[in-house]
Amino acid sequence: MAENHESDSRKLLRALRQTMAEAEAGQERLDRITRLIAGSMQADVCSIYLFRDAETLELCATEGLKPEAVHQTRLRVGEGLVGRVARFHRPINTDDAPSQHGFRYMPETGEEVLASFLGVPIQRLGETLGVLVVQSKEARIYSEDEVYGLEVVAMVLAEMAELGAFVGEGAALSAPHQRPETFQGGIGQEGAAEGRVWLHEPRVVVTNPVADDPEAEVARLRQAIDELRVSVDELLAVSAGGDAEQLQVLEAYRMFANSKGWMRRMEADIARGLSAEAAVEKEQSTARARMNQVPDPYLRERLHDLDDLSNRLLRILTGQGSETGAEMPDDPILRATNIGPGELLEYGRKLKGVVLEEGSVGSHAAIVARALAIPLIVNAQRITTEALNGDHIMVDGEQGVVHLRPDDSVVSAFRDKIAMQAQAQKRYASIRDKPATTRDGVTVALHMNAGLMADLPSLNGSGAEGVGLYRTELQFLTRAHMPKRSELVEYYARVMNAAAGKRVVFRTLDIGSDKVLPYMKPTDEPNPALGWRAIRVGLDKPGILRMQLQALVRAAEGRPLTVMFPFIAQWDEYRAARAEVDKVIARER
């Protein structure tokens, strides 16, 4: 591959595609691939290491080392040069391997002390699946073109692995998306749930990573980019004058969509033999790998924008949209990268639980999940690349753990836990209609919390005497714009009607701190939790408070109305808020 690297690269990729098309066992396919790469790179050794578990790499195929070392030689992540490639997700290229920091000589492989070493990560969408290595006795630094070419080959190997081309015996060659997996995340809402995975955004699978006609692939890519640019411009036109943060994201989309560097890199990948889809995914995988290493939050956000834009471009190229024909299971647990509160509300109580790869415990989605009382796990890393529609999944919202395709022992223990919780619920149900009276004769009224219309049907069955706190901010948080007064009147009237005469305490808008309206500019202050929030926002923006109070009074239509003000810290705040209520009542008479 040292000379005429472009044609050699395409020739090698075509050979890989032919290997993938032929009916042979996964091990035989890997063995043939190492021979092809060693010959193309004019290397004495070519080896493929794949992960057998999260921390261990296993030699799965080699040309030039002892065959008996295959599936016997293993390295921890960070151990030796191979382990360092896996840990840092970037190539190592040296003409004096023994002098490199972290070098480990492995006599069991029968290797001589080979001078040259080039290792590149086999990665897909930012997840490292293994390491591809070429070595030579001759001391040489591989050229930038050769390194780049080997990265392209590694990307194709990653796609082949995703398609199940290397399935064989042993953990390292197990079928993808079949093994039990456990993910640790943050607790957005407590609870336990068992069900089947439902993908909020179906996975895009590249089934044709190699192409024969670079010119045709470049034309397809440019056409898709043009379509992407038009869609971004349309989104910007619709959002003009809207939320500044949303506009900033869309402007970043437009910047990337018009990036000549992005286009140039993808065209270079196509010139080496990749299809348009594979070229996009290679750039996306590189961006995701960077995203995990960049500490600056602004740069991470921009790389996230590029990742999302790549997904849009892949859907245009593959035609794999959101409508896949799959039917939602009876016990769906939603898996998503992230999700907005409005989208989560559309699913409603059909969901048994939610697992997000991103998100935070203070996000709007977490607020809605708490209102719906469905378990939510956030920051479950790698869940989006591993979980498939219909996979068995168990969500432990008390420990922040997700069990994907769990084995029998985990299933048994988890179901025992759910059964114990169900027994506790039965005990609570048996005493719910009894008065909460203390031994000295004082009866305490028990009320429920609510924030959605979906909560109200459970009022009668809960044993509660009313709603002690109705959170009104959810109707503001789940919209892209301020709700109209008439909409609030209709909504609050439905709440009171559903309560059927039982007392409902409406808390006025509680925003600020971690609850920021998408159409209201957040205030930058050192301690937002104790600063400009809740009733202080209402008093500073009396138009919003008056509109909400007017809607409540009109919805009551003469019925008893109870209003709570959030986060009162001083007597003056209560007095000013109460004065607003009195003004509204006087005007509405």
pLDDT band with cut points at 50, 70 and 90 for residue 2: very low
Instruction: Flag whether pLDDT at 344 surpasses 50.
Output: yes
Residue with tokens 């980019």: 225
The helix (run of H) or strand (run of E) holding residue 12 is helix 5-21
Instruction: Flag whether pLDDT at 524 surpasses 70.
Output: no
For 155, the token pair is 């990307």
Please give the order of strands across the beta sheet that includes 56-63.
Answer: 74-76, 56-63, 45-53, 127-136, 116-124, 92-94
56-63 and 45-53 beta bridge pairing: antiparallel
Instruction: Flag whether pLDDT at 513 surpasses 80.
Output: no
N-term to C-term CA, the chain: 86
SS3 state at 185: coil
CA angle, corner 373, sides to 370 and 379, nearest 5? 55
Decide if 174 contacts 61 (C-beta within 8 A).
Answer: no
Mean pLDDT (whole number) for 152-174: 88
Q: What are 277-292's pLDDT values in tens digits?
A: 999 988 888 877 776 6
Instruction: Flag whether pLDDT at 389 surpasses 80.
Output: yes
For 156, the token pair is 């194709």
Nearest to 358 by CA among 300, 421, 293: 300
| Annotated domain spans of the chain | 5-173, 181-202+327-422, 214-318, 434-588
For 407, the token pair is 């084995």
pLDDT at 489: 94
The three state secondary structure string of 61-130 is: EEECCCHHHCCCCEEECCCHHHHHHHHHCCCEEECCHHHCCCCCCCHHHCCCCCCEEEEEEEEECCEEEE
How far is 358 from 295, CA to CA, in rounded Å? 16
Protein fold of 181-202+327-422 = Glucose Oxidase; domain 1 (3.50.30)
Class of domain 214-318: mainly alpha
How far is 584 from 484, CA to CA, in rounded Å? 17
pLDDT at 242: 56
Mean pLDDT (whole number) for 22-31: 88
Decide if 508 contacts 578 (C-beta within 8 A).
Answer: no
pLDDT at 3: 43
Length of the chain equals 589
Q: Is the dihedral of CA 171, 176, 182, 183 positive or negative?
A: positive
pLDDT at 105: 87
Q: What are 50-80's pLDDT values in tens digits?
A: 999 889 999 999 999 999 999 999 999 999 9
Q: 286-314 burial, b for 16+ CB within 10 Å, e for fewer?
A: bbbbbbeeeeeeeeeebbbbbbbbbbbbb
Contacts of 530 (CB under 8 A, 6+ apart): none
CATH number for region 434-588: 3.20.20.60
pLDDT band with cut points at 50, 70 and 90 for residue 139: very high
Q: What are 455-491's pLDDT values in tens digits?
A: 677 777 778 889 999 988 888 877 767 889 999 999 9
How far is 111 from 117, CA to CA, in rounded Å? 13
pLDDT at 575: 94
CATH of 5-173, one of 3.30.365.10, 3.40.50.10490, 3.30.565.10, 3.30.450.40: 3.30.450.40
Among 40-54, 85-99, 286-300, the least confident range: 286-300
- Whole-model pTM over 0.85: no
Nearest to 13 by CA among 211, 266, 280: 211
56-63 and 127-136 beta bridge pairing: unpaired
Across all residues in the chain, what is the average pLDDT? Answer: 86
Q: Percentage of the chain with pLDDT > 70?
A: 90
